Amino acid sequence: MTPTLSLSTTLLKEPSITPNDFECQDILAEFLGKLGFLCEFLYFGDPNDNGKNAQIKNLYAKKKGSDPTAIHLCFAGHTDVVPVGDESLWTYPPFSATVADGYLWGRGASDMKTAIACFCVACDEFIKNHPNHKGDISLLITADEEGVAINGTHKVVLELAKRGERMDFCLVGEPSSTSVLGDVIKNGRRGSLNAKLIVTGKQGHIAYPHLAVNPIHELISALAELTATKWDEGNDYFPATSMQISNINGGTGATNVIPNSVDVLFNFRFCTENTAESLQVKTHAILDKHFANSKATYDIEWSLSGEPFLTPKGEFVDAVVSAIKDVTGTDGKLSTSGGTSDGRFIAPIMNAQVVELGVLNDTIHQIDEKVAVDDLERLTLIYGKILERLIV
């Protein structure tokens, strides 16, 4: 068993369903400590809370280089995993870390414990070959990425920024690949802005609409304009901003009652051509126009999951692209598609360039999640070459 496979299986055997890390970060701290990393556990949240503010364990491990002005490369990842569902449907027990048919099977195999193992082993080899490396290397590992993400990476980077920590590049090990290892490199992510719109009218009998105010009827024209609006054209790196409705709830369940209110949940996945503030202003302008002469009123609650971020072509992206090409022969394609990642916290708070690169994402969050064993060895080599290009 290779060092990468050995560390991967050790991590996969820990049933670290969000927000419980079990022993994952202790295992990593022991491994990294032997390489000269200074390891620190940071806890945020309430230890007596079992809900959104539950206490989260985070690991920040750093090995300083010989030149304080050289590049600081941070690897970011998470040890928490999503629930397994019905275990009887799995070919192998989800926390058995079974190696079979050329794959490593288990929850977290692709999302994303194995990437952490790959980077750790790559650091081991790199440090052996370059004991006097110039740049700093660090790992930021949380147990709160798959959950509400309140007391994980976000709180850690706020603490690091408060200390005056500098971070130049951040390599996030999320499973970015789609068909073959390294075919997709995430060099940015769209922002995510959530809205809860509440339109209030007046409840009444459906046979006497003149005595009531139907909030659904008052909302329809505004909702039609919101969904038809072109928010921007996108740019060379991002598709156009998308607004999607996810929920509409109104009514008492009776067919003869005009409801008092209707609630609508919608989301913007937005590019760098807009900001959360600009989208809010545009939305309120549309709603104000439609409700100006209405007897119904509206209220809207906003929540921002993350601003968009982008790492343009340059030293960091070039290092990642060339490392993939050297190991696999694949020409990695830059992409900003998909959902959000913890890069949304690291990029703006640390003012760091962020790139995501990991194994295939074809089985993430699924029953029988797995990763090709050969890909683990190749990803370790890719990470090692990135270190060679940036930290020496």
DSSP symbols for 280-327: HHHHHHHHHHHHTT-SSEEEEEEEEEE--EE--SSHHHHHHHHHHHHH
301 annotated as ligand-binding: no
> What is the pLDDT, as a whole number, of residue 289?
98
Put simply, whether the predicted model's pTM sits higher than 0.85 gets the answer yes
217 annotated as ligand-binding: no
Active site residue 299: no
159 annotated as ligand-binding: no
Domain range list for the chain:
3-189+308-391, 193-303
Q: What is the pLDDT of residues 330-357, one digit of tens each?
A: 999 999 988 788 999 999 999 999 999 9
Class of CATH domain 193-303: alpha beta
Q: Which of 14, 136, 145, 307 is flagged as catalytic?
A: 145
Over residues 281-308, mean pLDDT: 96
Q: What is the pLDDT of residues 140-154, one digit of tens each?
A: 999 999 998 999 999
| Position 49, amino acid | D
CATH superfamily of 3-189+308-391: Zn peptidases (3.40.630.10)
| Burial group, residue 332, by CB count within 10 angstroms (0-12, 13-18, 19+) | buried
Q: What is the C-alpha to C-alpha distance for residues 84 and 176, in angstroms, rounded to an integer? A: 21
14 annotated as ligand-binding: no
> What is the pLDDT, as a whole number, of residue 337?
86
Kindly report the backbone phi and psi dihedral angles of residue 268, in degrees, each rounded to the nearest multiple of 5, phi listed first.
-105, 125
> What is the pLDDT, as a whole number, of residue 339?
79
Q: Is the pLDDT of residue 291 over 90?
A: yes
Active site residue 145: yes
369 annotated as ligand-binding: no
Q: What is the pLDDT of residues 250-287, one digit of tens each?
A: 999 999 999 999 999 999 999 999 999 999 999 999 99
Among the ranges given (108-122, 167-181, 194-208, 340-354), the one the predictor scored with the smallest mean pLDDT:
340-354
Among the ranges given (51-55, 84-88, 299-303, 367-371), the one the predictor scored with the smallest mean pLDDT:
51-55
Percent of the chain whose predicted confidence (pLDDT) is above 70: 100
Q: Which of 80, 136, 168, 388 is flagged as catalytic?
A: 80
> What is the pLDDT, as a whole number, of residue 340?
81
The band of 51, judged by pLDDT with boundaries at 50, 70 and 90, is confident
